[in-house]
């Protein structure tokens, strides 16, 4: 299944065993990949980083942000997972579109795009057909267009602000790019305003106008996602994780329990248990 569009776009059928491997290797290990999941039929549930298991509905589309960890229960699912990196959405307008999509709709990074309409299903079929046809220079554009249209067709997704342009948008996008990389080392506003060369007031305004969020909310959100990923899929001790995230260990434990409602250790144990369960399940009946 090696059809790559410059190493940034993959399409898997949901009952493809390679998908599990792919998730283990790439998605859960801090590569910046988004995934859109179209669920045609399902018999069990899919869990991402939230405590609650996401209840899947048949004939629905989910869009998951980068960095979020995903755990698939072994399920009998029929559908497709479309995985793509941010660089796939190459042009500036498209990247802005993607970022805004996430920030406007669901802070937790998962957008339930609702029921797949007839046209969205056609889109997905066209995506599959395009993906499996022989590679040429035009394939990336074709796939990109289909993917964008797939998202745009969702009635439940809120598109307000998708087409804003101007200084605020530039600052807001630069800011989220910086946050992705520096949230752990730099927790002060002054760092970011220095990098972007704007005043704190402008930064506040941009974030409020574009994302309707404050600086602290965005910063903390990023840290939470990363801490989850390190806890569940990383092997370091909690002390080390706290250090990597830029916190003193005792402070980190206090913060974490305030965010998530349980101690890091407990959460880690819980998730590890789930992962083991899945692994055993998979070993026992590897189909």
Partner 1 sequence: MTIKTPRYSSEDVLNSLGIEVNSFEELYMQKVAQEMIYNYHRASFYHIFRYQGEGNTHYVKNKKIKIIDNSLLIVNRDILQRYSKHKCRGDMVLFNFNFFTSTQEKTNFLNQCTLFKNDYLIIPPGPGSFISSIDLYFSLMKMSIKKKKIREVDMVLLRNWLHNLLIIIEREYHRLDPIRNSKDCILEFKGLLDLYYQREKHVCFYAKKLNISERKLSQIVYAVHSISAKEYINEKILQEALRLLKNTTLNQGEIAAALGLDFTYFVKFFRKRFNITPAKYRQSKRNTII
Smallest distance from partner 1 to CB 144, Å: 8
Q: Tokens 């704007």 map to which residue?
A: 198
Smallest distance from partner 1 to CB 154, Å: 10
Tell me if 54 sits within 8 A of 48, measured CB to CB. yes
Tell me if 255 sits within 8 A of 247, measured CB to CB. yes
**Alpha-carbon distance 34 to 205, whole Å?**
28
Pick the closer one to partner 1 by CB: 23 or 102.
102
Chain residues that interact with partner 1, rule: CB under 8 A: 90-91, 93, 119, 122-123, 126, 129, 136-138, 141-142, 145-146, 148-149, 152-153, 159, 162-163
Pick the closer one to partner 1 by CB: 165 or 266.
165
Tell me if 210 sits within 8 A of 172, measured CB to CB. yes
| Burial class of 183 by CB neighbour count within 10 A (0 to 12, 13 to 18, 19+) | buried
Smallest distance from partner 1 to CB 182, Å: 29
| Burial class of 23 by CB neighbour count within 10 A (0 to 12, 13 to 18, 19+) | buried
233 is written with which tokens? 């899929």
Smallest distance from partner 1 to CB 119, Å: 6
Tell me if 36 sits within 8 A of 63, measured CB to CB. yes
Pick the closer one to partner 1 by CB: 126 or 253.
126
Smallest distance from partner 1 to CB 5, Å: 13
Pick the closer one to partner 1 by CB: 90 or 262.
90
**Alpha-carbon distance 203 to 209, whole Å?**
10
| Burial class of 250 by CB neighbour count within 10 A (0 to 12, 13 to 18, 19+) | exposed
Smallest distance from partner 1 to CB 147, Å: 9
| 174-196-185 Cα angle (round to 5) | 80
**Alpha-carbon distance 156 to 174, whole Å?**
27
Smallest distance from partner 1 to CB 196, Å: 24
Pick the closer one to partner 1 by CB: 159 or 184.
159
Pick the closer one to partner 1 by CB: 142 or 186.
142
């Amino acid at each position: 299944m090696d059809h790559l569009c410059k190493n940034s776009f993959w399409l898997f059928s949901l009952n493809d065993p390679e998908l599990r491997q792919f998730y283990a290797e790439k998605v859960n290990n801090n590569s910046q990949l988004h995934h859109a999941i179209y669920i045609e039929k399902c018999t069990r549930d899919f869990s991402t980083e939230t405590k609650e298991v996401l209840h899947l509905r048949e004939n629905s589309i989910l869009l998951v942000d980068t960095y979020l960890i995903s755990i698939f229960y072994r399920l009998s699912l029929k559908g497709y997972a479309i995985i793509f990196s941010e660089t796939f959405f190459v042009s500036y307008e498209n990247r802005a579109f993607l970022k805004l999509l996430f920030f406007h709709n669901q802070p937790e990074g998962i957008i339930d795009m609702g029921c797949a309409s007839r046209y969205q299903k056609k889109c997905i079929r066209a995506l599959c057909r395009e993906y499996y046809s022989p590679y040429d220079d035009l394939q990336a554009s074709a796939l990109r267009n289909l993917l964008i249209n797939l998202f745009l067709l969702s009635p439940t997704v809120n598109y307000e602000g998708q087409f804003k342009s101007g200084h605020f948008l530039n600052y807001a996008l630069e800011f989220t790019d910086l946050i992705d990389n520096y949230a752990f080392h730099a927790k002060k506003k002054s760092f970011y305003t220095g990098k972007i060369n704007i005043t704190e007031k402008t930064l506040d305004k941009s974030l409020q106008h574009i994302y309707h969020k404050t600086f602290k909310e965005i910063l903390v959100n990023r840290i939470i996602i990363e801490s989850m990923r390190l806890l569940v899929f990383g092997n370091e001790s909690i002390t080390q994780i706290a250090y990597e995230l830029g916190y003193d260990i005792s402070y980190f434990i206090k913060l974490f329990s305030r965010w998530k409602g349980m101690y890091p250790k407990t959460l880690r144990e819980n998730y590890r248990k789930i992962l083991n369960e899945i692994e055993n399940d998979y070993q026992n009946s590897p189909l």
